[in-house]
Structure 1
Amino acid sequence: MELTEDIAARFARIALGHVTREYPHKLDHVMAGDADVRSPRDLHPVFFGSFDWHSCVHGWWTLLTLRRLFPDIPEASDIAALAERTFTPEKLAVEVAYLDRPEARGFERPYGWAWLLYLHHEVERHSDYNWGKRLEPLARAFAEKLGEYLRVLTYPITVGTHFNTAFALVLAREWATTRDTKLLTTIDEWALAAFANRRDYAGWEPGGDDFLSPVLTAALLMSRVMPHLQFAGWFEDLVLANGWLERDCRPVTVSDRTDGKIAHLDGLNLSRGWCLAAIGRALGEGHPASALVAQRARRHLDAGLDHVAGDYAGEHWLASFALLAFLELREAS
């Protein structure tokens, strides 16, 4: 299973079709008065498309990642031209200023924060443009908010949707590793306190609108935080010894892809594939469960890939999760 040039071009066309599509739109916007009744493009001149702010952010991550990996696809020049028109200092200053509103304390927390950091992690790789420097003030603002949030977050949020703590920390940690040692330490210490003593998973996933696995996102995070041998033992105690991975971790079905919440389940298949591929790489080929983990990763990715495009309920975001899985498989090969 390989990310080919044809697949990259297809994903790029999908994302180009929605990152500047303003409507329909679902705002995460707390209004303090009549003056706050404003359009998505007015509130967020950079990330106004893709149905919601966070999907626009990771739609841009998808585009720029594909541009870097496949610079010769026809869409690459369109991506660069659109990014240059979009990531201007003036527009980004409006995005930064939005966070100063008292009502914006919980804006996109933590999912959108993490994706913005991950986007900045990507744009800095495009040295032929100045996008990384332009985006840095916004990234730094979200990094500061994340550190403050972890200092008051007593318990992890272990749902299968946007509020999932572990997923956000996986992405944010990638950014912090080379840019913010204080945040990196905060993430690692918080993750160990939250998850290191977890055993014998018996959750009721999948939920009806999950696009993340609570246990596999936590395991992916711990695979980055724990040393190899410690992680392997922890993972065995969490989901291998009790049979959960073999018994219950199977691709899910989607009954109605026009329903935005039910369509989340296509994302669950893709994100499970991503998590399992990464976990398998962390365990290593010599681990007794490596074949099972790899097989489950492939089955989940197979189940989700055919549904990246179709109805806008899923099309505005699913390619990003397919790309996460492909990139992890690329690292493992």
Structure 2
Amino acid sequence: MIMSTSPFTKQLASRFARIALGHVRREYPNKPGHVLSADADARTPSALHPVFYGSFDWHSCVHSYWLLTRVLRRFPTADVAHDIKTLFDEQLTPEKVAGECAYFSEPAARGYERPYGWGWLLKLAAELGALRENPWRDAVAPLADVIVARFTDFLPRATYPVRVGTHFNTAFGLRLAADYAATMPDRTFAALLSDTALRWYGEDRACPAWGEPSGDDFLSSALIEAECMHSVAPPAMFSGWFDAFLPELRAGMPATLFLPATVSDRSDGKIAHLDGLNLSRAWCWRALAGALSDDDPRREIMNEAAARHIDAALPHLADDYMGEHWLASFAALALDGA
């Protein structure tokens, strides 16, 4: 077992990257979220998506590219770096990205991958932007522009947030998009994300987390909301908001947030989501603990919770393809994202 005390080492990063390289161009099985408007729309995944056709679904392929970019940026001399660069040279080209942009131009694709895939695409663009000078950043930029435009159109019209623990969670989408806004930097977009988060979540108090975990959660609706606010709210405001949002944290309450989820069947795609819940909780716990002062007693409680969640999930990243096609990205967030 790889214990939670393990850092995000070159060896571990290479292991994650090898998992991702094994499926980013594996076209089948595939779960398209594709709307058919005519017979001609019945096409294969690679015909629909010249870049992101692997990894079972579009969003998992996108965040697997993010993972590979992260590994390349953190460990440019890793033995896997050559294979990552070869993949990027072949896939992240202006012509293929133009095909992805064309897909989003279709009227039926207006809400495609909103907000989960949108957020991950912008996080990929942010990671490419943080990488040393590279041709792939400019190639992906037009698609990032499309997604920023989608967010900019959608957020002012979205009266309510979505608080589920799956792909439709709006706090997660905002949180990933915030990394892009900060990296570019794009102050106008950052302001939109901040204003939206404050409108949706700014008055939330005493979160009970009573619905967690649900049977197919891979996000904690409570913790990702807190991490979203951490990323976009003014620091002076966040401290008081966080105290009020989880007021009994010192006592280990709500207790459900501190207990790793049990995964009973990793061959079931929905139940396998719970490994992702454990990893995404660990990411949030570590990031939120880092926002507190060094002498805050909650830090130790939160970091211990993160360690328990990592230990519960990390040995199972490749137990079955239902988890293998996406979990390594969440493991990288948990170990290296705080």
Coarse TM-score class (shorter-chain normalised): over 0.9
- The 2-side partners of 1:18 and 1:9 are apart by 15
Q: Check whether the contact 2:213–2:256 (CA below 8 A) recurs between aligned residues.
A: no
Q: Check whether the contact 1:161–1:212 (CA below 8 A) recurs between aligned residues.
A: yes
Deviations 1:137-162 (A, max 9, x none): 00000001011110111011000000
Q: Secondary structure at the match of 2:316?
A: coil
Offset of residue 288 of structure 1: 2.9
- The 2-side partners of 1:230 and 1:267 are apart by 30
- The 1-side partners of 2:17 and 2:248 are apart by 41
Structure 1 counterpart of 2:222, which letter?
V
Q: Pick from 79, 86, 95: which aligns with 2:91?
A: 86
Offset of residue 129 of structure 1: 2.5
Structure 1 counterpart of 2:321, which letter?
Y
- The 1-side partners of 2:248 and 2:224 are apart by 18
174-183 or 193-202: bigger deviation: 174-183
Structure 2 counterpart of 1:197, which letter?
E
- The 2-side partners of 1:179 and 1:43 are apart by 31
Structure 1 counterpart of 2:174, which letter?
L
Residue matched to 1:239: 246
Alignment TM-score, normalising by the size of structure 2: 0.94
Offset of residue 230 of structure 1: 3.0
Offset of residue 294 of structure 1: 1.2
Q: Pick from 109, 115, 121: which aligns with 1:110?
A: 115
Residue matched to 2:42: 37
Q: Check whether the contact 1:201–1:244 (CA below 8 A) recurs between aligned residues.
A: no
- The 1-side partners of 2:337 and 2:144 are apart by 24
Residue matched to 1:183: 189
- The 2-side partners of 1:170 and 1:60 are apart by 18
176-185 or 61-70: bigger deviation: 176-185
Deviations 1:262-316 (A, max 9, x none): 0000000000000000000112222231111111111111111111112000000
Cα 1:298/1:246, change in 2 over 3 Å: farther
Percent identity between matched residues is 49
Q: Check whether the contact 2:73–2:132 (CA below 8 A) recurs between aligned residues.
A: no
Structure 2 counterpart of 1:195, which letter?
Y
Q: Check whether the contact 2:252–2:301 (CA below 8 A) recurs between aligned residues.
A: no
Q: Check whether the contact 1:246–1:292 (CA below 8 A) recurs between aligned residues.
A: no
Matched, 1:51 2:59: no
- The 1-side partners of 2:286 and 2:247 are apart by 16
Q: Check whether the contact 1:201–1:239 (CA below 8 A) recurs between aligned residues.
A: yes
Q: Pick from 232, 242, 256: which aligns with 1:248?
A: 256
For structure 2, the 5+ residue unaligned runs are: none
Q: Output aligned runs, 1:304-315, within 5 Å.
A: 304-315=313-324
- Higher relative contact order (CA closer than 8 Å, sequence separation 6+): 2
Matched, 1:278 2:287: yes
Q: Check whether the contact 1:45–1:94 (CA below 8 A) recurs between aligned residues.
A: yes
- The 2-side partners of 1:285 and 1:140 are apart by 39
Offset of residue 246 of structure 1: 5.4
133-142 or 298-307: bigger deviation: 298-307
Give structure 1 regions of 4+ aligned residues with deviation exceeding 6 angstroms. none
Offset of residue 233 of structure 1: 2.5
CA root-mean-square deviation: 1.4
Q: Output aligned runs, 1:286-305, within 5 Å.
A: 286-305=295-314
Residue matched to 1:209: 216
Q: Check whether the contact 2:218–2:276 (CA below 8 A) recurs between aligned residues.
A: yes
Matched, 1:320 2:291: no
Residue matched to 1:98: 103
Deviations 1:43-72 (A, max 9, x none): 001000000000000000101110111122
